[in-house]
A and B are shown apart, each in its own frame.
Chain A
Amino acid sequence: MSLIKHHKLLETNVFLLVLGIFVTVAVGGLVEIVPLFSIKSTIENVRGIRPYTPLELAGRDIYISEGCYNCHSQMVRPFRDEIERYGHYSLAAESKFDHPFQWGSKRTGPDLARVGGKYSNEWHTRHLIDPRSVVPESIMPGYPHLATTPLEYGSIAAHMKTLDVVGRGEMYGPVEGAYENAIADLEAQATPGADTDALVARYSDFAYGPDRAEDETTTMALGDLDGNPDVITEMDALVAYLQVLGTMVDFTDYDETRKAEWIR
């Protein structure tokens, strides 16, 4: 009971009380934070993951500015029902180039973490202009203005540089020529028939690293995405972004027992 006797001392001496609180909180912090200092990264480095191309990045900005995250999550949780509906559960690495991440916590609409490749570009455009024209029971609002608003992308390289600062130089820094070619890459991806070899090679090199096979290329939506080849609109950018979601990792090649070789 001597401890309880001394408790009066703590309660009546402000300096000792503050010291006691500090020590208590510090213990919790040390246990949780200190072990992380010994690990270079808490995120598994998965083959195929790459930063967004300039067009996809511009689309991601529109996704955020239109508030898509208010109704759509981007996180397939490791539960049977979610996997049967959406596909493989999300990996931490799949959000490593998302600043801020778009996991979300509310699903008024379906999860979008694996929406890439599930619908055609034309469907996305039609659905975003008038959701009920394709999904009669949908309660999603229409975003017809995206199809008529030209995309402003003059500052896309600066935007990428900023993100690289947030990503501690590991985001666009290692992508060779990402900044110099940002505008050319963006235009190439959204222009039908454009030469996209340089763009695809640039981001494929990053995605698959030095052991990239000759014919191994990263998936991205190319060409006129919104049915209007004359202008690059906000719709083009948003569709490019939606079409890449969840497609970077090849899960047909994945199996838990080979995790070590799959994760590099």
Chain B
Amino acid sequence: MADHPERDEITGRYTTGHEWDGIKELNTPLPKWWVWVFYATIAWSVVYSVAYPSWPAMAGYFGGLTGWNARSALTEDLAEARDARSEWLTQIAAKDVPAILEDNTLRSYAMRGGEVLFKENCAPCHQTGGAGAFGYPTLADDEWIWGGAPEDILATIRYGIRDQDNPDTRINYMPAFGDDWFTDEQIEAVAGYVYALSHGEAPAEGPGQALFMQQCVSCHGPDGGGNAMLGGPPLNNRIFLYGGDKEDIAAQVRNPTHGVMPPWENRLSDEEIKQLAVYVHSLGGGQ
């Protein structure tokens, strides 16, 4: 600075010229490479603030000479991804699900896409590979509550089941037969009949059989084969959503549990729903 710094006798280096109680400090400047990198970052910040959105203004902000912003960059990114898939996606959009199933190449593309979508959106309830869980139907077998044809699966995914807000949702309610409808003995009898039916040993007559024919056949079918139009599940096999023991069946007759599936029409695109329908249809039991 103003006065000439003195040279330290022992090291031969200059001091900073500061002195505290007789102690002097050696002048050790920053390495030249560091200083130049520092200057470079300052220069870069100027370039950056000119090129990209930076300075706030009284109304709005300076948008930068390149015109970049996060939302338009995202739009481009999404469009690019769509373009890359457009060869398949346009075909999926144009065809209905049965036609996609017949086209081998298109089907394998839809299967891959459907698998990814299934893992993210469907597996939490229906489990990996559609294995199903208590209260969540197995999709890998050939028993369908609301129908296993491609268009049925598509409609179920699109509109959901018993959704409180979707006007097109699939909906049915089994009456709670325990509410002043059946006596305990009658519930016992009909549960016994259904249990026997599920084991292929249904008696040809009896109180359970009579009640079943009166109250249950309209949805579950005279032979217990179910009715996919009304969403009445088949009862003539051992696939049960809420347990197949006699007590489980009685509980379901008394006060049925009604499952809910969310509609996906607003959450997934039409092409995505079709891919899912192809995937679910191909899990094992598509009709």
Contact = CB atoms under 8 A, between A and B. Distances in A.
Contact of A122 (B56, B74, B260): B260
A80 to B, nearest CB: 5
B267 A122 contact: no
Interface in A241-264: 250-252, 256
Interface stretch (B29-37, B118-126, B139-147): B118-126
B28 interface: no
Given A8-B2, A123-B124, A134-B133, A31 B55 contact: yes
A45 to B, nearest CB: 17
Interface string A87-127: 10100000000000000000000000000011111110011
Interface in B128-152: 133, 135-136
Nearest to B161: A120
B58 A38 contact: yes
Contacts of A175: none
A83 B124 contact: no
What bracket does the count of chain B residues touching chain A fall in? 20 to 34
A5 B74 CA distance: 52
B259 A8 contact: no
A79 B121 CA distance: 19
B2 A256 contact: no
Contacts of A127: 124
A175 to B, nearest CB: 21
Interface string A71-83: 0000000111001
A181 interface: no
Contacts of B260: 120-122
B262 A119 contact: yes
Contact of A119 (B77, B81, B125): B125
A135 interface: yes
Nearest to A252: B266
A32 interface: yes
What bracket does the count of chain A residues touching chain B fall in? 35 or more
A32 B57 CA distance: 9
Contact of B124 (A7, A79, A119): A119
B121 A118 contact: yes
A201 interface: no
Contact of B56 (A35, A78, A118): A35
A168 interface: no
Nearest to A117: B262
Contacts of B23: none
B215 interface: no
A251 B1 CA distance: 65
A21 interface: no
Contacts of B262: 117-120
Given A5-B1, A85-B120, A134 B125 contact: yes
Contact of A123 (B70, B120, B125, B165): B125
Nearest to A86: B120
B117 to A, nearest CB: 9
A252 B264 CA distance: 12
A119 B262 CA distance: 6
B59 interface: yes
B40 interface: no
Nearest to B267: A87
Contacts of A250: 266
A120 B259 contact: yes
Given A4-B1, A123-B125, A80 B74 contact: yes
Closest 9 CB pairs of A and B: A120-B260, A35-B56, A78-B74, A80-B77, A38-B58, A78-B70, A117-B262, A252-B266, A35-B58
5 contacts: A35-B57, A80-B77, A80-B81, A122-B259, A223-B164
Interface of A: 4-5, 7-8, 31-32, 35-36, 38-39, 78-80, 83, 85, 87, 89, 117-123, 126-127, 133-136, 219, 221-223, 250-252, 256
